[in-house]
Amino acid sequence: MSYPRTRMRRMRSDDWMRRLTAENTLSVSDLIWPLFVHDGCGEEAVASMPGVARLDSDGLWRAAEQALSLNIPAVALFPVISEEKKTSDGAEAWNEKGLIPRVVSGLKSRFPELGVIVDVALDPYTSHGQDGVINDAGMVLNDETVSLLRRQALTQAAAGADIVAPSDMMDGRIGVLRDALEAEGFSNVKILSYAAKYASAFYGPFRDAVGSAGTLGKADKQTYQMSVANRREALAEMRLDLEEGADMLMVKPGMPYLDVVREAAYVFDAPIFVYQVSGEYAMLCAAAANGWINADLCMVESLLAFKRAGACGILTYFAPQAAALLNQ
């Protein structure tokens, strides 16, 4: 019996060899920790996201200290706005004394070395739960919304945000934001565009966390978020956003769209980020809680998959757990 001269298993036979020949690696420097912040007191657990809570300012400072102790480079902030402050136009989004400007300023004064990313979108602030203003027929108005996003982003930049991250999927908003930031002296503020944000069913726990699920009701976001069936459209969105001045591009959700991450990383000479969204996180937590999977191994494997596909930054609620493991 003849045997193959090339035995692929030779290179897998020892741990040191597997590490030496690994094509991709996951490090703490790849992680961004999404955090929910509210205007009340104390922490409020998010039932659909085990281990995740809505934080008050003191809780946010503690989370920032933890992030720095673990060498996590940046946090991404998402506001939980009280119902009485929500309006049809989301005006609280550009309130200079509002929740996000206050906590951004507090973070940058206390932890200047920690990167702070802020969401540019109106849905946490609107009484109807959409990412923009709507007409009487319920249609989200693109250009009118973009003018409001401009005000929101400038307010966030003035508070000290390092990165503004438009997640609203309005056409042309990157160019408007870039021009506004440059004109107002915020040329170093970076834009992370949610260029390929799909109208996904995996956002449910997030909407529970920020309180937009109730306001959105039975409405959906299909007229502005991308069809889950499309790939080429994502590349077109990304190309337009780069031309308009985006510094980084986001694919959201993550695991169901690894093909989009891979192609974007191949096509564009720009950093590609990916968001392991709330539904992905909740599914892994539920399976682990039932003893069906190994929590740590599946967590790391899922994150490494994003790196293998070509992402250089990963927003994940697993950030502190993953960082603790990777720092060992």
Does the pLDDT of residue 213 top 90, yes or no?
no
Q: Please state, as a whole number, how many other Cβ atoms lie within 10 Å of the Cβ of residue 312.
A: 15
Q: Of the residues 85, 86, 221, 252, which is catalytic?
A: 252
Residue 4's CB: how many other CB atoms inside 10 A? Answer: 6
Instruction: Assign 106 a pLDDT band (cuts: 50, 70, 90).
Output: very high
Whether 190 is in a domain gets the answer: yes
Q: Within a domain: residue 16?
A: no
pLDDT tens figures, 186-206 = 999 999 999 999 999 999 999
276-302 residue pLDDT tens? 999 999 999 999 999 999 999 999 999
3-state secondary structure the chain: CCCCCCCHHHHHCCHHHHHHCCCCCCCHHHEEEEEEEECCCCCEECCCCCCCEEECHHHHHHHHHHHHHCCCCEEEEEEECCHHHCECCCHHHHCCCCHHHHHHHHHHHHCCCCEEEEEECCCCCECCCCCCCECCCCCECHHHHHHHHHHHHHHHHHHCCCEEEECCCCCCHHHHHHHHHHHCCCCCCEEEEEEEEECCHHHHHHHHHHCHHHHHCCCCCCCCCECCCCCHHHHHHHHHHHHHCCCEEEEECCHHHHHHHHHHHHHCCCCEEEEECHHHHHHHHHHHHCCCCCHHHHHHHHHHHHHHHCCCEEEECCHHHHHHHHCC
Given a cut of 90, whether residue 216 has pLDDT beyond it is: no
Assess if residue 18 is contained within a domain. no
Split at pLDDT 50, 70, 90, the class of 64 is very high
252 carries an active-site annotation: yes
Q: How confident is the model at residue 1 (pLDDT cuts 50, 70, 90)?
A: low
> Residue 63: its pLDDT value, please?
98
Look at residue 207 and tell me whether its pLDDT is greater than 90: no
| Mean pLDDT of the 227-254 span | 98
Least confident residue range of 54-58, 216-220, 257-261, 301-305: 216-220
Nearest Cα to Cα of residue 38 among 46, 30, 50: 46
pLDDT over threshold 80, residue 211: no
Task: Give the chain's mean pLDDT.
Answer: 95
- Residues in contact with 36: Cβ distance below 8 Å, sequence separation at least 6, in sequence order: 46, 52, 53, 54, 55, 78, 79, 80, 209, 210
Q: What is the CA radius of gyration of the chain?
A: 20
**Cβ proximity of 54 and 38 under 8 Å:** yes
Predicted pLDDT of residue 297 = 97
Q: How far is the C-alpha of 20 from the C-alpha of 189, rounded, in Å? A: 38
What pLDDT does 5 receive? 82
For 9-13, 153-157, 271-275, 322-326, which range has the lowest pLDDT when averaged over its residues? 9-13
The predicted pLDDT at position 67 comes to 98
**Is 206 among the domain residues?**
yes
Output the domain CATH number for residue 157. 3.20.20.70
- The closest of 315, 213, 306 to 264, measured between CA atoms, is 306
- Among residues 85, 197, 221, 307, the one annotated as catalytic is 197
68: in domain: yes
Domain hosting residue 225, numbered range: 26-326
Determine the pLDDT at residue 210: 86
Query: Of 203-207, 219-223, 254-258, where does the model show the most confidence?
Result: 254-258
Q: Is residue 15 part of a domain?
A: no
Is 12 part of any domain? no
Establish whether 108 is a catalytic residue.
no
Asked if the structure places residue 5 within a domain, the reply is no
**What is the mean predicted confidence (pLDDT) over 94-99?**
97
- 116-140 pLDDT tens trace: 999 999 999 999 999 999 999 989 9
Q: Supply the pLDDT for residue 3.
A: 77
Q: Domains in the chain: how many in total?
A: 1
Q: What are the two backbone dihedrals, phi and then psi, of residue 190, each rounded to the nearest 5 degrees? A: -90, 155
Residue 214: pLDDT over 90: no
